[in-house]
């Protein structure tokens, strides 16, 4: 039986790469994002069947759940949607930015999970397994100056994932967390820095081979395609140049002589 996944954040970056990756290995995919024009282009390119929704709006989440109910079974939720705004110190933080990050990263994860869990359960009523998979960040694991708002939001999402795994114990539903470090995508850092292209490019300047969206998508596809009894609880992945959140090599990587 062909398995079907909902992939959020599908209009760009990691989410878009996941849609490509899953389609290439035979999954049916419903890409979800706010930008309907980008979703239409994605559908034309890879044969996905997308649905435009803002996952911070409950009415849109409900509409997504109704769409899934009307169009077929659901075997996996891949929640990529989220993001960061600003690099302010705690004392200078903009409450609007912090509120948006909590809504985009934590509340959206809760809303879409609650809405789609019944559909995941229905698809496995006669056997098999289902998946919930969440893309968090190494920012959920290690604080850094100027990152407190994003640290807090991603840590909140990570705790949601860990609690969900405990709550679903005894059901054949896997709960996986993928926590990437530095990933170069077209929009994440640009949006975080308010559209400042030069500042965004500076973040990656001189870094040998930061992760790409495709790198993360490959790991996600592996997790979803693993045998049903195998759960990758947490995968932390970084480029070799980033040994820790605070330790980043710039320049070519060379063997020591």
Tally of helices (H runs) and strands (E runs) in the chain: 9, 11
The C-alpha atoms of residue 41 and residue 241 are separated, in whole angstroms, by 34
Q: How far is CA 104 from the centre of its chain?
A: 11
The C-alpha atoms of residue 237 and residue 183 are separated, in whole angstroms, by 10
The length of the chain in residues reads 257
Instruction: Find where tokens 């930008």 sit.
Output: 35
CA distances from 14 to 188, 201, 234 (A): 10, 18, 17
Take residue 171 and report the two structure tokens written for it.
Answer: 């059901």
Nearest CA to 161 among 233, 250, 217, 229?
Answer: 233
Instruction: Find where tokens 């967390």 sit.
Output: 177
The sign of the torsion formed by the CA atoms of 46, 19, 25, 71 equals: negative
Instruction: Find where tokens 């705790």 sit.
Output: 159
N- to C-terminal Cα separation, the chain: 54
DSSP category for residue 107 = I
Instruction: Judge contact between 50 and 71, C-beta under 8 A.
Output: no
**Residue 222 is among the residues annotated as catalytic for this protein:** no
Check 134, 150, 204, 222 and give the catalytic one: 150
Give the three-state DSSP class for 52: strand
Catalytic positions: 150
């Amino acid at each position: 039986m062909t398995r079907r996944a909902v992939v959020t954040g599908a209009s760009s970056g990691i989410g878009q790469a996941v849609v490509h990756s899953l389609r290439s290995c035979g999954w049916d995919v419903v890409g979800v994002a706010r930008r309907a024009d980008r979703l239409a282009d994605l559908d034309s390119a890879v044969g996905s069947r997308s649905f435009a929704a803002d996952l911070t709006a409950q009415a849109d989440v409900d509409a997504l759940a109704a769409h899934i109910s009307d169009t077929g079974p659901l075997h996996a939720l891949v929640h990529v949607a989220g993001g960061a705004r600003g690099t302010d110190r705690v004392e200078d933080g903009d409450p609007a930015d912090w509120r948006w990050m909590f809504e985009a990263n934590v509340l959206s994860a809760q809303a879409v999970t609650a809405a789609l869990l019944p559909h995941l359960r229905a698809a496995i009523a006669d056997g098999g397994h289902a998946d919930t998979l969440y893309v968090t960040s190494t920012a959920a694991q290690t604080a850094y100056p100027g990152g407190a708002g994003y640290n807090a939001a991603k840590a909140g999402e990570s705790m949601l994932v860990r609690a969900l795994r405990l709550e679903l114990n005894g059901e054949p539903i896997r709960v996986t967390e993928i926590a990437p470090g530095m990933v170069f995508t077209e929009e994440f850092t640009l949006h975080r820095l308010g559209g400042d292209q030069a500042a965004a490019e500076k973040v990656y300047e001189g870094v040998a081979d930061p992760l790409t969206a495709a790198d993360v998508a490959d790991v996600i596809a592996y997790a979803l395609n693993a045998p049903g009894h195998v759960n990758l609880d947490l995968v932390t992945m970084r480029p070799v140049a980033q040994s820790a959140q605070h330790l980043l090599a710039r320049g070519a990587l060379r063997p020591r002589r």
